[in-house]
Chains A and B, each alone.
Chain A
């Protein structure tokens, strides 16, 4: 089983829609969680950290469920510019030096 798993998509949704995707992780002792965004042929860029109480940044909401070992990302009122691949990132307690990336979920917003 992969340490971090994501639905690869692609998710193809109309502009203005709300879209959500999850990421599951296998190490219950994981420490920190993030969502990164990667545009085609570019480096990943931090979208937001994920806190235990859940957090929101504009149209984006991230949540963590430690009991079920998953994190989620919700995008409201999606824009064409939201089209990208979204990477789930986990840092485990056992090796704080390692950073574990999911394979990414592709999102495509259509006009």
Chain B
């Protein structure tokens, strides 16, 4: 079955460490997105990519980095510069920027200890 796979589902990180969240899709989608969600809050856009080797900052990109070397993969690195990284991270994709339906991965829970 086609879909989006995020890993790990739960991750604990010590302060000062970088961590990378994986997002893989086998839907042949061009556009991919990373969102952050805090408890009781909406989704905020971190980065998005419309095509391989290209990505754009979203509303809260500081302290995060991404790469898009392959169409199916859009990993997110949470760097030590991100001051409050504990959150629920969601990866999403759609066939192209004009496509309506958005597909989500199951999310990754990151906790800084």
Q: List residues of A whose CB falls within 8 A of some B CB.
A: 8, 32, 34, 41-46, 49, 87, 89, 91, 96-99, 101-104
Main secondary structure of the interface of B (DSSP, over half): strand
Chain B residues near A103 (CB, 8 Å)?
A: 41-42
Q: A98-B45, A103-B41 are in contact. Are A42 and B101 (CB under 8 A)?
A: no
- B42 and A87 form a contact (CB under 8 A): yes
Chain A residues near B40 (CB, 8 Å)?
A: 8
CB distance from A20 to the nearest CB of B (A): 20
Q: A98-B48, A99-B33 are in contact. Are A43 and B42 (CB under 8 A)?
A: no
Question: Of the candidates B42, B98, B104, B105, which one forms a contact with A104 in the assembled complex, judged by CB atoms under 8 Å apart?
Answer: B42
B31 at the A/B interface (Cβ < 8 Å)?
yes
Main secondary structure of the interface of A (DSSP, over half): loop
B25 at the A/B interface (Cβ < 8 Å)?
no
- B41 and A43 form a contact (CB under 8 A): no
Complex A-B: 29 CB contacts under 8 Å: A34-B100, A34-B102, A42-B106, A42-B107, A43-B90, A43-B104, A43-B105, A43-B107, A44-B43, A44-B90, A44-B104, A45-B104, A46-B101, A46-B102, A49-B100, A87-B43, A91-B100, A96-B97, A97-B31, A97-B50, A97-B56, A98-B45, A99-B33, A99-B45, A99-B92, A101-B43, A103-B41, A103-B42, A104-B42
